């Protein structure tokens, strides 16, 4: 007889505190960071994203977020001024310039949108700024670039604080290090402190996904859940230029295989009752490992939907950082 384990996220994904602070979210993707910030108390008055599939997902989940399907540089020229004075400007600027997969070209990469973020902050003059990127941005080879970014923000009156955060320290069942920079007007810079990790241990992959794996009556779901006894390796979003969805390069696939997961591609459904072997994850399963509520929709075919999930910033981490920013704004 199967044991039905029900995953309970560390944070109630439906809980949203009083929305007393306004925000703009750029390079929003499918809304992972924006959702976490909403849960922390930020009301998105504009949400900017260039990918049509991600915009469809945003509209399906939060049409009230005032979604612009537009290139950030074009949007800054045409629309940014009307939002002067919002409390927060936030964005997960594209990571290829600093990721290993993206060849780490830094400022020489045409996909580097830090200059756009600086221009946006110069126009908007928000009370606080949030920028998210991959851990590679903290590598020594990018010290000079980070210094340039710091100096550019200082020239417009802001001081940035950088921090490496681990999603697993905020209840997300995944090994996902990310770099976060929070900026405040230089006169207020000392008023901000990054959130402390929560004390709860994140669930294992088996604990997080057991009910989804057993949804179609898979008889070996209990056995699989016991084997999947660690948190997930880092989930990757993949590239638009290369093939369909998978769970990463060879090393990552080996880590998934150790958890009893076939990482070579993504499944459309959970295993059937008599399935034998290592199951594949569905988009919904991967979304749960990213900390999304099950109610969050991802619009598009499997490859597009998976890419949206894999590139997202986990909502529970964004919520924790958002709560720390609220504390700085109210303290």
Domain boundaries in the chain?
A: 21-197+312-330, 205-296+305-311
Instruction: Measure the CA–CA gap between 90 and 24, rounded to whole angstroms.
Output: 6
Q: 49: closest CA among 32, 28, 73, 31?
A: 28
Sign of the alpha-carbon torsion through 136, 138, 143, 144? positive
pLDDT for position 319: 96
Number of H helices, E strands in the chain: 11, 7
Nearest 10 degrees: CA dihedral of 201, 202, 207, 213?
180
> CA 124 → CA 84, 85, 121, 194, 265, distances in Å?
4, 6, 5, 23, 42
Tell me whether residue 55 is one of the annotated catalytic residues. no
Per-residue pLDDT tens digits of the chain, which is 331 residues long: 344 444 555 555 455 666 689 999 999 999 999 999 999 999 999 999 999 999 999 999 999 999 999 999 999 999 999 999 999 999 988 744 444 444 444 344 445 688 999 999 999 999 999 999 988 889 898 888 899 999 999 999 999 999 999 999 999 999 999 999 999 999 898 889 999 998 789 999 999 999 999 999 999 999 999 999 999 999 987 666 555 678 888 888 999 999 999 999 999 999 999 999 999 999 999 999 999 999 999 999 999 999 999 999 999 999 999 999 999 999 7
Q: Which of 95, 221, 270, 286 is catalytic?
A: 95
- Domain 21-197+312-330: CATH architecture, name and number where available: 3-Layer(aba) Sandwich (3.40)
């Amino acid at each position: 007889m199967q044991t039905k384990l029900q995953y309970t996220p560390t944070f109630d994904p439906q809980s949203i505190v009083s929305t007393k602070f306004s925000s703009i979210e750029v390079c929003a993707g499918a809304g992972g960071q924006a959702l976490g910030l909403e849960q922390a108390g930020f009301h998105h008055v504009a949400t900017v994203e260039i990918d049509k599939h991600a915009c469809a997902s945003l509209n399906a989940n939060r049409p009230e977020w005032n979604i612009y399907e537009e290139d950030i540089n074009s949007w800054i020229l045409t629309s940014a001024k009307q939002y002067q004075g919002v409390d927060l400007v936030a964005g997960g600027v594209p990571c290829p310039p600093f990721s290993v997969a993206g060849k780490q070209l830094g400022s020489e990469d045409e996909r580097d949108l830090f200059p756009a973020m600086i221009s946006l902050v110069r126009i908007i003059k928000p009370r606080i700024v949030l920028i998210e990127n991959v851990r590679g941005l903290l590598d020594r080879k990018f010290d000079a670039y980070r210094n340039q970014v710091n100096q550019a923000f200082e020239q417009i009156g802001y001081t940035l604080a950088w921090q490496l955060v681990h999603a697993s320290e905020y209840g997300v069942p995944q090994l996902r290090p990310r770099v976060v920079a929070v900026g405040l007007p230089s006169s207020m810079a000392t008023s901000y402190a990054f959130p402390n990790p929560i004390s709860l241990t994140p669930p294992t992959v088996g604990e997080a996904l057991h009910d989804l794996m057993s949804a179609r009556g898979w008889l070996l779901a209990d056995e699989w859940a016991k084997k999947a006894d660690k948190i997930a390796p880092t989930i990757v979003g993949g590239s638009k230029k290369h093939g369909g969805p998978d769970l990463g390069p060879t090393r990552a696939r080996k880590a998934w295989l150790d958890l009893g997961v076939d990482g070579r591609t993504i499944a459309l459904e959970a295993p059937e009752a008599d399935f034998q072997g290592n199951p594949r994850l569905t988009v919904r399963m991967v979304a749960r490992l990213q900390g999304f509520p099950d109610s969050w929709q991802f619009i598009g075919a499997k490859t597009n939907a998976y890419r949206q999930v894999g590139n997202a910033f986990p909502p529970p981490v964004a919520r924790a950082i958002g709560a720390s920013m609220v504390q700085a704004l109210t303290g």
